[in-house]
Structure 1
């Protein structure tokens, strides 16, 4: 009888122990989470480019000849009137000497014609000179005068030709390219040097054709230095080349900068980010989704109770690592981003405040 009592008592104690285990509270789980931050701009890509001058000019000599010397190098800053390059002036000097010799000869003829016309006029006034001789002298004077003007013009032209053997700039600029070297023979008007005006700068990038055809007025361009992305400014599209480059199949875009930081020197490498205004949407890690029974949900953390609950969301876009939600979550809400399959509604969680914000 005592043995039976002991067995029954042990069974009762065993059942009581099982009841206590079943009633044990759910364990508090630590979770990874992030604060929802809706996006109102959709990124269309990032492209490399350079800072260039809006206005560039290519200069050449106004006369032909052999380049004797280049006075400045690429990157040099020049002022109005500075000499960029010079030709061998031998031919121009010889032409000037010849023109000056012709002028001296015509000046001598002009002096002689003046004296002859004056003499014939005096003879005619005293009544001993013939009218025909006077007419001839005056005609010779006019002809010689015209020749004198022609000779003077030839000298002026020869001087100009000599001055054209020096290539000068008429505005402040930066030398960006040389198309000819010292010792090279160039013709009149041939491109020799390219100058850029540094006062107005712009960003230049090459866009894929498919993207260039989809540009809209609400596009936002952010231009940043590749060396220091904190140096940046906004920009607007000023010009888009109508035809794509035959080799790269890209179209060149020129952007007007809202302001020009000092670090944006000519030739500076930049990165340009394109974005477009969109309806508010939220981007989360793909691991935040809980997909079951044909529904797409996420776990929302109650900041007061420190518990979780599910909420259905509308999926807009999915990539291997992220998802974009069109609706279902609000700005500032905290969403669980890992371990979503092991949670239960109402379960208490521990949130690390240093999780991704």
Structure 2
């Protein structure tokens, strides 16, 4: 009989323990969870760009006068040192002639002063003149020598100015603007440029990269440039340098690229689009908007840990897309975040995860 009684008691105890465990499990609130997912990243980083010449310089006059001849016009290809225009400057020519005459006069006076100083030195040795008189003649000779050097400097300056009546190209390029014509009065150092010269065999492409994407662009990185007026054409480009600082006005990073234009197909000054190759953007995680709890400590989410324990975590929000919100900090891709958390949810609470309802 004892054996029979023991055989009946043991199953009942196991049944009671199972019922107790099931009751405790059913007493826990059941929650659905979701895991954070990365936001959508653009397949390529395409930004508007401005194409500029490799070199671009205005040509001004250094000599005053009337434009005598011009040898180039817009679109003319020129080489370094090629004559662009001639300026007629008769006043400058007369000034140079007068300076050369003054130089001849000063050199004659110098020769006389030299001869006089040498003779007075001989007379000083024979004691026919005083040392004071000989010193005066020597000082006069040195004064005449200095005058000659001063006049020579004036001659060189006027000769250099006269050479500026021949306006030449400072480098190889194309004339992109002409703002003068034959017979026009030219003022040296004036604000009006005569020509504008651009070198377009290589081009500089400037792009303003937004702050959120600035870290994805580095020198040496390759890029693809397209021009709306040339559909289907792609021009390779290379990042040369960046400004190294964000613009305070637009919060963008000025980036310069280099593009080869040996065939002259690309017109400087054009608008373009640049797509950066291999731009690795940091894509933030996203969560459904109904996972957020807004409390005094800021936005929070409930994360289910191992064993069903809840941990409340503060999160930093990014952009709000309506049903989905960017999470900049606070969760990881492996976290299980509670959907539709109740306002009474506290840190350390125990919950049961509805596995069938877990969002993929």
* TM-score for both structures, normalised by structure 1: 0.52
SS at match of 1:110: helix
Q: CA–CA distance in 2 between the matches of 1:261 and 1:174?
A: 13
Q: CA–CA distance in 1 between the matches of 2:101 and 2:140?
A: 21
Q: CA–CA distance in 2 between the matches of 1:123 and 1:237?
A: 76
Q: CA–CA distance in 1 between the matches of 2:149 and 2:216?
A: 65
Q: Specify the alignment match of 2:121 in structure 1.
A: 121
Q: CA–CA distance in 2 between the matches of 1:279 and 1:123?
A: 96
> For residues 69-104 of structure 1, what are the alpha-carbon distances to aligned partners after superposition, in whole Å with 9 as ceiling and x for unaligned?
332222222222222233222121111011111111
SS at match of 1:197: strand
Q: Specify the alignment match of 1:190 in structure 2.
A: 191
Higher mean displacement: 233-242 or 107-116: 233-242
Q: Specify the alignment match of 2:346 in structure 1.
A: none
RMSD: 4.1
For structure 1, the residue ranges without an aligned partner over 5 or more in a row are: 1-38, 281-315, 318-357
Alignment of 1:53-132 (within 5 A): 53-132=53-132
Q: CA–CA distance in 2 between the matches of 1:187 and 1:169?
A: 17
Residues 223 and 235 of structure 1 are in contact (CA less than 8 Å); yes or no, is this contact kept in structure 2? no
Q: Specify the alignment match of 2:203 in structure 1.
A: 201
Deviation of 1:142 (Å): 1.1
Residues 173 and 198 of structure 2 are in contact (CA less than 8 Å); yes or no, is this contact kept in structure 1? yes
Q: CA–CA distance in 2 between the matches of 1:181 and 1:123?
A: 67
Q: CA–CA distance in 2 between the matches of 1:127 and 1:79?
A: 69
* TM-score for both structures, normalised by structure 2: 0.52
> For residues 318-356 of structure 1, what are the alpha-carbon distances to aligned partners after superposition, in whole Å with 9 as ceiling and x for unaligned?
xxxxxxxxxxxxxxxxxxxxxxxxxxxxxxxxxxxxxxx
Residues 235 and 259 of structure 2 are in contact (CA less than 8 Å); yes or no, is this contact kept in structure 1? no
Q: Specify the alignment match of 2:226 in structure 1.
A: 224
Q: Residues 264, 93 of structure 1: CA spacing in aligned structure 2 closer, same or farther, 3 A cutoff?
A: same
Give yes or no for the alignment of 1:233 onto 2:228: no
For structure 2, the residue ranges without an aligned partner over 5 or more in a row are: 1-39, 284-320, 323-360
Q: CA–CA distance in 1 between the matches of 2:181 and 2:254?
A: 31
Higher mean displacement: 182-191 or 101-110: 182-191
Q: CA–CA distance in 2 between the matches of 1:180 and 1:90?
A: 20
What is the aligned length?
A: 235
Q: Residues 150, 47 of structure 1: CA spacing in aligned structure 2 closer, same or farther, 3 A cutoff?
A: closer
Q: Residues 204, 65 of structure 1: CA spacing in aligned structure 2 closer, same or farther, 3 A cutoff?
A: farther
SS at match of 1:55: strand
Q: Residues 239, 73 of structure 1: CA spacing in aligned structure 2 closer, same or farther, 3 A cutoff?
A: farther
Residues 61 and 166 of structure 1 are in contact (CA less than 8 Å); yes or no, is this contact kept in structure 2? no
Q: Specify the alignment match of 1:289 in structure 2.
A: none
SS at match of 2:200: coil
Residues 223 and 270 of structure 1 are in contact (CA less than 8 Å); yes or no, is this contact kept in structure 2? no
Deviation of 1:199 (Å): 4.4
Residues 67 and 186 of structure 1 are in contact (CA less than 8 Å); yes or no, is this contact kept in structure 2? no
Alignment of 1:262-273 (within 5 A): 262=263, 264-267=265-268, 271-272=272-273
Q: Residues 102, 243 of structure 1: CA spacing in aligned structure 2 closer, same or farther, 3 A cutoff?
A: farther
Deviation of 1:254 (Å): 6.3
Deviation of 1:196 (Å): 2.1
> For residues 145-178 of structure 1, what are the alpha-carbon distances to aligned partners after superposition, in whole Å with 9 as ceiling and x for unaligned?
1111111111111111111222223322322223
Residues 69 and 86 of structure 1 are in contact (CA less than 8 Å); yes or no, is this contact kept in structure 2? yes
Q: Residues 237, 274 of structure 1: CA spacing in aligned structure 2 closer, same or farther, 3 A cutoff?
A: farther
Q: Residues 212, 84 of structure 1: CA spacing in aligned structure 2 closer, same or farther, 3 A cutoff?
A: farther
